[in-house]
Structure 1
Amino acid sequence: MTLHPSDGAHAPVSLVDEELVRDPFTAYARVRESGTLVRGLIPGADPVWLVTRYDDVRLVLTDPRFVSDVTAVPGQAVPDVVEQIRAATGIAPEYLDHLRRGLGDVDGADHTRLRRLVSRAFTARRVAELRPRVEEIAERLLDRLPEAAENGVVDLLRHFAYPLPIAVICELVGIPEQDRGRWREWSAALAAGLGPGMEPALRGLADHTRELIGRRRAEPADDLITELVRVHDEDGDRLDETELVTMVISLVLAGHETTAHLIANGTAALLTHPGQLAALRRNPELTPRAVHELMRWCGPVLATRMRYPTEDVRIADTLVRRGEPVLPVLAGGNRDPRAYQDPDRLDITRDPGGRRETHLGFGQGRHYCLGAALARQEAEVAFTALLRRFPGLRLAVTADDLRHGPNPGAWHLASVPVRLQG
C-alpha cells in the first residue's frame, strides 16, 4: 500500500491490501496522516469513506445523524455496502437474515427495544456477581494447561484465551457444555471473514439455536434463552422469531470472540514488552488500567460497523453526502497522536480517563459494546491468574513468527505458543 501526503483524500485504499492486513496499525497511521478522510475500496462493493482520526471516529460513533441501518436514511434508496459484501457469500437469505438483525444493525426504537431485553444481564452489579465464577473457570483452565503442552509448548489461545470467555457467556446465555465445542468452531469460521466456511457455520449456529429454543420451551432454565423465549411467546411484538435466534447467536459470538482475542493479543504484547510485564508483575493493581491500554494498543476490533449519514455532514474538511457509507477505523483513532501522547508506545500506566473510558476499543455512543464490563473483567481475571500461576511464562516463538488471521476488520492471532516455565 502506497500513500503520499500530496495524494490527500484522492488516494484510495484497498481494505484487502496485503500490507494493511499484515500490519494494520502502521498502515492506518499512514492513511490517517494522508488526509482527513480517505476512500476505502472493498471488492464487490461501492467505495466507502475511511474515518481514522480520533475525534472524527468518535463523531461518527456518537452523532445521531449517523445510522447503522441504511433504510433509516431518508430520500432515495441508498446502496447497502454491507449487503453488497454479504451477497458475495452466497448464503441463503433465511440464514443471512441473522447477520442483519442484530443489535448493531438497528437504530432508534428498534435498538432500544432489543437492548432493553438483555441489558439487565450485563449491568455492573450482575457482572461483579459473576466474578467468582469467572475466577473459578480461569483457575480450572490453568490447572489443565500443563497437560496440553507438547514438547513444552502450549497454545494459550486454544487452551485458555478462548475457553474462558466462551464458558462464561455460554453459561449466562444457556448453551450446554457439551455443545460449546461446536459453537467455538462455528464462531472461528465466521471470525475468519468471507470464505467457504462462513455459510455452514451460520447454518449450524442458526439451526442449533432453534433447537435450543425448542428445548427451553419444554424445559425452562435459569438462563437468557429461557427469558428471551418467554418474552417472544408472551409478546411477539417485542421480539419476533428471527430476532430471537439472532439475539442468541450475536450474544454468544460477541460475548467471547473479542474477549478471547483481547486476552491473546494482550498476553503476546506483554511478553514482547518485558518492561511492561515486569511493571504489572510488581503492581497487579495496575491490571484494570493495563486492560484499557491493551484494548487501545492492540484491540482485536480494527473497524466497527458501517455508518450512513442521514443528511449531508461535514467531517473536518470533507463533506460527506447523505447515505454515503462511512467506516469508523478504531485502530486509527486509538493510535492518533492528536488524542494520545506517544500513541504507538504500550504503557500500562497510561491514564484511561478515570471513570470515562477514552479509548475506542468497545465503540462509543448508543452502540457501545453491551458486554464491555464483562469483557474487561474477564481480561483482568485472565491476566492476573495467568501471571501469578506461571511466573516464567514466555513466548515459544519470536514476535515476528506470530501469525494473524486474514480478516481485514480484525486483529486476531492464529495461535499464541508459549512455554509455561522460563
Structure 2
Amino acid sequence: MLEIDLTDPSVLHDPAAVFGQARERAPIARLVAPGLGPMWAVTRHAEARAMLADPRFGNSAASYPRLDVPEHCRPYLRTMQELDGPEHQRLRRLSAPAFTARRAADFQPVISQIVDRLLDGVADRLLDGPVDLLEHFAGPLPMEVICALVGVPAGDRPAWLAHGRAVAAGNGAAFTAAMPAIIDGARTAAPHVAALFGAGLTEQELVTLVWHLVLAGQTPTNLIANAVAVLLEDPSRAALLRAEPHLLPGAVEELTRWCGPQLLTIPRYVQRPTTLAGITVAPGEPVTVSIVAANRDPRVFPDPERLDLRSTSAGAHLGYAHGPHFCLGAPLARVQTTVALGALLARFPDLALSDAGALAGVAARRVPDPGTWRLAALPVVAR
C-alpha cells in the first residue's frame, strides 16, 4: 500500500503531482504525518464520488478538532457538518432555501457593490505601489458578502472581518480565542436572520448556523486569490477572459478544478468493517478524498493537467465535495468568484504580479498546509 507523508516537502510544494502519481498507482492511498494517526485517502474521481455519497461513511465529532472554549459556548459548537441522517437532513432542508443558485443570482447586485467598493480601495493603493490583493480584496470580500446576506449589523462587521482573517489564515489559536465573541455576535445577529431560514430552527440551532455559515463563507478567499495568481502568471489567460467575459462562469469551474483551495475533504468514518476500493476499512478509521487528485483524474477530465478556460467538463469537479455534505454555499461562492474576477480584470487591464509574474515568486508565498492550497500574500502592481 502506497503511503504519503503529508509533511514531505514535495507534498507541500506540489500536491497535484504527488497525489496524481498516487492516483495512477491505486484508487486509495495511506496518509501519514507525525503526531497523527494514519488516514485513508481516495484518489480517483469515481471512487471518491461513491464514498462521499455512501451513508456508511459519515462525519462525526472526531472529524473536527474540539475547541477549548468557555462553557456557555459549548452548546453551539456542534454544527450541521458534524451530523448525519435525519437530523442533518432536517437542518439542511431548513437552511438550503437561503443558498439556492437563484438566491445567489438575485444577490449579485449586492455582491457587485461590495466588489466595486473594495476595488476602489485597491485602485487608491496601487497609486503608491504594490498592493496585497489577499489582504485588501480576496480576504475581506467573502466576509462582507456573507455578513450582508445573513444580516449582520454594519457596526458588528469589523469584528467579524477580524474573526474571518483568523479562520482564513488557518490560525487555530486565534480562532479559539475569538470563539466567545463569535458566539455572542451570532446571538446578536440571529434575530435578524431568522426570517431568512424560516421557521423550524431552535435558538441554539439558529445561532450555531449563523456563526458557522459566516465563517465557512471564507472559502472563496483562497479560491479567488489562487485564481488571480494563475491568471496573472500567464497574461494570455487574463486577456482571454477580458476579451470574452461570457466565459467567466465556466472558467470559474475550471479554476476551481485546477487550483481550488481544498486539497482533502473532512475525514469520514465507518461504524463497521467496510470495503473501499478493494481495501477493508476498519471501524473508527478516517477516510478522506484527495480532491486535488480526483479533480485531475484523466478518466473524467480530458487533458487534465492543462488549464482550459473554455472547458465544458470542469463542472464535474469535486471542489465543493459531493453527496449529503455538498457545500451549502457553493452557489454563492460561484457567483461572488465570477463577479470578483470579472470586475478585477475589467477594471485593471494592466494588473501584474509584483514579481513580474514569475511562478517561483507565487510558489514561495504558498502556506505549507497539506490540507489547503493557499497563499500567504498576493502582491500586485499596475504596469
**TM norm. shorter chain > 0.5:** yes
Q: Aligned partners of 1:391 and 1:254: how far apart in 2?
A: 32
Structure-1 residue corresponding to 2:144: 167
| 96 and 194 in structure 1: CA distance in 2 versus 1, 3 angstrom threshold | farther
Structure-2 residue corresponding to 1:362: 320
Give the SS at the match of 1:47. Answer: strand
Q: What is the CA RMSD across the aligned residues, in angstroms?
A: 2.4
Say if 1:302 and 1:409, in contact at 8 Å, map to a contact too.
yes
Q: Aligned partners of 1:352 and 1:141: how far apart in 2?
A: 32
Structure-2 residue corresponding to 1:349: 310
| 281 and 412 in structure 1: CA distance in 2 versus 1, 3 angstrom threshold | same
Structure-1 residue corresponding to 2:100: 123
The Cα of 1:93 is off from its aligned counterpart by: 6.6
Q: Does 1:273 align with 2:196?
A: no
- Unpaired runs of 5+ in structure 1? 1-8, 71-79
| 212 and 23 in structure 1: CA distance in 2 versus 1, 3 angstrom threshold | same
CA displacement, residues 114-158 of structure 1 (integer Å, 9 cap, x when unaligned): 112221211222222111121222222222222223742111122
CA displacement, residues 307-337 of structure 1 (integer Å, 9 cap, x when unaligned): 1234433322322234421011211111222
The Cα of 1:226 is off from its aligned counterpart by: 5.8
Give the SS at the match of 1:336. Answer: coil
Q: Percent identity?
A: 41
Say if 1:310 and 1:322, in contact at 8 Å, map to a contact too.
yes
Q: Aligned partners of 2:148 and 2:76: how far apart in 1?
A: 22
Structure-2 residue corresponding to 1:140: 117
What amino acid does structure 2 have at the position aligned with 1:375?
A
The Cα of 1:94 is off from its aligned counterpart by: 5.7
TM-score when normalising by structure 1: 0.82
Give the SS at the match of 1:66. Answer: coil
Greater mean deviation of Cα atoms: 163-172 or 204-213: 204-213
Q: Does 1:286 align with 2:247?
A: yes
Q: Aligned partners of 2:71 and 2:305: how far apart in 1?
A: 42
Q: Does 1:400 align with 2:360?
A: yes
Say if 1:15 and 1:42, in contact at 8 Å, map to a contact too.
yes
CA displacement, residues 236-267 of structure 1 (integer Å, 9 cap, x when unaligned): xx4352x3332111111122x11121111111
Say if 1:190 and 1:202, in contact at 8 Å, map to a contact too.
no
- Unpaired runs of 5+ in structure 2? none
Q: 2:347 aligns with which of 383, 389, 393?
A: 389
Structure-2 residue corresponding to 1:295: 256
Structure-2 residue corresponding to 1:6: none
After superposition, residues 49-64 of structure 1 pair within 5 angstroms as 49-64=40-55
Structure-2 residue corresponding to 1:152: 129
TM-score when normalising by structure 2: 0.90
After superposition, residues 139-288 of structure 1 pair within 5 angstroms as 139-149=116-126, 151-193=128-170, 195-213=172-190, 216=191, 221=192, 224-225=193-194, 231=199, 238-239=201-202, 241=204, 243-255=205-217, 257-288=218-249
Q: 1:25 aligns with which of 16, 20, 32?
A: 16
Structure-2 residue corresponding to 1:411: 373
Q: Aligned partners of 1:42 and 1:246: how far apart in 2?
A: 32
Say if 1:293 and 1:348, in contact at 8 Å, map to a contact too.
yes
Say if 2:98 and 2:196, in contact at 8 Å, map to a contact too.
no
Q: Aligned partners of 2:33 and 2:155: how far apart in 1?
A: 39
Say if 1:66 and 1:307, in contact at 8 Å, map to a contact too.
yes
Say if 2:4 and 2:32, in contact at 8 Å, map to a contact too.
yes
Give the SS at the match of 2:302. Answer: coil
Give the SS at the match of 2:280. Answer: strand
Say if 2:76 and 2:207, in contact at 8 Å, map to a contact too.
yes
| 197 and 150 in structure 1: CA distance in 2 versus 1, 3 angstrom threshold | farther
Structure-2 residue corresponding to 1:65: 56
Q: Aligned partners of 1:128 and 1:45: how far apart in 2?
A: 42
Aligned residues: 379
| 408 and 201 in structure 1: CA distance in 2 versus 1, 3 angstrom threshold | farther
After superposition, residues 85-96 of structure 1 pair within 5 angstroms as 86=65, 90=68, 95=73
